[in-house]
Amino acid sequence: MVITKTIKVDSKKELDMINITDKVQDAVGRSGAKTGTVTIFVPGATGAITAIEYENGLLKDFAGALEKIAPKHLDYEHHKKWDDDNGRSHVKASLIGPDMTVPFKDKKLILGTWQAIVFVELDTRPREREIILQILGE
Amino acid sequence: MVITKTIKVDSKKELDMINITDKVQDAVGRSGAKTGTVTIFVPGATGAITAIEYENGLLKDFAGALEKIAPKHLDYEHHKKWDDDNGRSHVKASLIGPDMTVPFKDKKLILGTWQAIVFVELDTRPREREIILQILGE
Amino acid sequence: MVITKTIKVDSKKELDMINITDKVQDAVGRSGAKTGTVTIFVPGATGAITAIEYENGLLKDFAGALEKIAPKHLDYEHHKKWDDDNGRSHVKASLIGPDMTVPFKDKKLILGTWQAIVFVELDTRPREREIILQILGE
């Protein structure tokens, strides 16, 4: 059985990390499937999905590491194309990736105690995002 | 229902990024499944799958960030084993990962407007690659 | 059909990389499914799953690249919260990701010749880990 659900999130700024664990659990719980996987996918080239302990200090640490990988003040080739300012956003998004697949059993996501599912806003401005949950199970 | 399809691509050089979105969409469209997921997987330790806005400037930016993570001129331990030259290729491939899972509905991949599925050649020479599409759906 | 299996591994130290390919293949082979996908998932915020050529030199190269991304001697904000010492562990884990999905056919994982599935221990101390295998197939 395949069930498609959608989560809407409004990001506030660049590197906003939004905890969507409860929303994913809720969708899985209501899907009718007892066991299976949920693929969490952001249709957008400047957002990403990953897992993290959702603690403010750590969110800053993660943002700091991403800034070193694709710093704000580099001259990105991408900016020449569209007069855009989000070259760094794309680079980070392609590295983390737009998808994550999480198993569930007895209608419950199998996650570690401190492990949250997060949407990472990498774009340089606030965005309204629609995140897809594709639930496969029985 | 599970359907396995294969895509063949010939990479031209290191850091060649090949847009396979249309081929994945075509395989999903012909699979007979209306809704589900497609897992795109490269069987090979020096290639990777990710999503990116397929624009030449950005492809250079992404390659540049990868070069910083695993620079060309480092002495890689891996080279001592096989007299190989592709330590950096492996490091980048393991970081990006060989797999991506994308949802589809009504036979269409759910992707952002600018979001392309790409195979990233990380090896130091051109390669003939076979990419696996595992389609799960109904 | 959905089958859940569990793999137990004991990591010996930080950056221990454990080859779990044979265990995943064994679980898939015994699952009863002929074709499908296996999602390998670590429920824990300081571990990760990826693919790599399992060769000692390369494991060191990969560890070296991760150390540059999240160095040992930085002051992590995360340490202020719990008096913890594993900020770097979390940063690396969130970048690599806790999941990988691998296709199989005729009960065999579709992997490259040199491509192994590994659990990466990123925490600063040895851990007993339970890795989830969610097998979807027919």
- The answer, for A32 touching chain C at a CB cutoff of 8 Å, is no
- The answer, for C19 touching chain B at a CB cutoff of 8 Å, is no
Q: Is position A31 within any domain?
A: yes
Contact: A98, B115; criterion CB under 8 Å: yes
Closest chain C residue to the Cα of B131, Cα to Cα = C110
Closest by Cβ to C45, choosing from A35, A52, A57: A52
CA dist., res. C127 & res. C130, Å (int):
10
CA dist., res. A41 & res. A106, Å (int):
23
Q: Is position A15 within any domain?
A: no
Question: In this predicted model, what pLDDT tens digit does every residue of B7-28 receive, in sequence order?
Answer: 999 999 999 999 999 999 999 9
8 A C-beta contact, residue B119 and residue C19: no
Question: In this predicted model, what pLDDT tens digit does every residue of C96-127 receive, in sequence order?
Answer: 999 999 999 999 999 999 999 999 999 999 99
CA dist., res. A134 & res. A138, Å (int):
13
Q: Is position A13 within any domain?
A: no
For the cut 80, the answer to whether the pLDDT of residue C82 exceeds it is no
Does the complex come out with an ipTM higher than 0.85?
yes
State the pLDDT confidence band at B80, using cuts at 50, 70 and 90: very high
Question: How many percent of chain B have pLDDT more than 90?
Answer: 97
Strand partners, C2: C136
For the cut 90, the answer to whether the pLDDT of residue A82 exceeds it is no
- Residue C15: the pLDDT is 98
Contact: A136, C136; criterion CB under 8 Å: yes
The whole-chain average pLDDT of chain A stands at 97
For the cut 90, the answer to whether the pLDDT of residue A86 exceeds it is yes
Q: Is the dihedral of CA C106, C107, C110, C115 positive or negative?
A: negative
The CATH number linked to C71 is 2.60.120.460
Specify the pairing of strand B116-121 against strand C17-19: unpaired
8 A C-beta contact, residue A53 and residue C90: yes
Contact: C58, B41; criterion CB under 8 Å: no
Question: Whole-prediction pTM value?
Answer: 0.98
Q: Is position A70 within any domain?
A: yes
8 A C-beta contact, residue C28 and residue C105: no
The residue range of the domain holding B92 is: 2-137
- Residue C87: the pLDDT is 97
- The answer, for A119 touching chain C at a CB cutoff of 8 Å, is no
The nearest CA of chain A is from the CA of C58 a distance in Å of 20
Strand partners, A135: A3, A38
- Residue B89: the pLDDT is 98
Q: Specify the DSSP element, H or E, that contains A29.
A: helix A21-30
How many distinct structural domains can be found in chain B?
Answer: 1
- Residue B82: the pLDDT is 76
